[in-house]
Amino acid sequence: MRSKVIIGAVCAVLSTVNFAVAEVLTVGDFVQAAETNVGYRRVIEGAGRGMEGVNLHLYAVKQPELYCPPEKMAFTGDQYVEILANRARRSPALASMPAGLIGYAMLGALIQTFPCP
């Protein structure tokens, strides 16, 4: 019984430490790390692909799209990183967002980069 309590306490402490570290990381930090770390690039690409999926769904159900890229444009992971990096350079508010909001930051970057008419 005592070992279960100790294990539970250690897990609680470790999860708190990881959470505190995650809160410090910003979107700007994430973009900078993506220059040399494929894992960070993949997360940014995933955020972009997620927004692409939302946009495709809106188009399919005949709702207004959130952003309007050129027709038949297929984004690469590097392009998503560049789109987010450009917006982060121009917007300190976006760059300082917690990294947990990377999807929201990507959406804002796509809307700003490809506004709908």
Residue 36 lies in a domain: yes
With 70 as the cut, is the pLDDT of residue 16 above it?
no
Per-residue pLDDT at 23:
54
Residue 34 lies in a domain: yes
Neighbouring C-alpha atoms within 13 Å toward the C-beta of 7: 4
Residue 4 lies in a domain: no
Residue 3 lies in a domain: no
Residue 13 lies in a domain: no
Rounded-to-integer distance, Cα 67 and Cα 113, Å: 8
Q: What is the pLDDT of residues 66-88, one digit of tens each?
A: 999 998 888 999 999 999 999 99
Residue 10 lies in a domain: no
The whole-angstrom distance between residue 8's C-alpha and the CA centroid of its chain comes to 31
Instruction: Give me the domain span that covers residue 30.
Output: 25-113
Per-residue pLDDT at 68:
96
21 or 10, greater pLDDT = 21
Residue 94 lies in a domain: yes
Rounded-to-integer distance, Cα 59 and Cα 79, Å: 22
When divided into structural domains, the chain yields a total of: 1
Residue 20 lies in a domain: no
Share of the chain above pLDDT 70, in %: 80
Q: Among residues 43, 8, 36, 6, which one has the least CA distance to residue 22?
A: 43
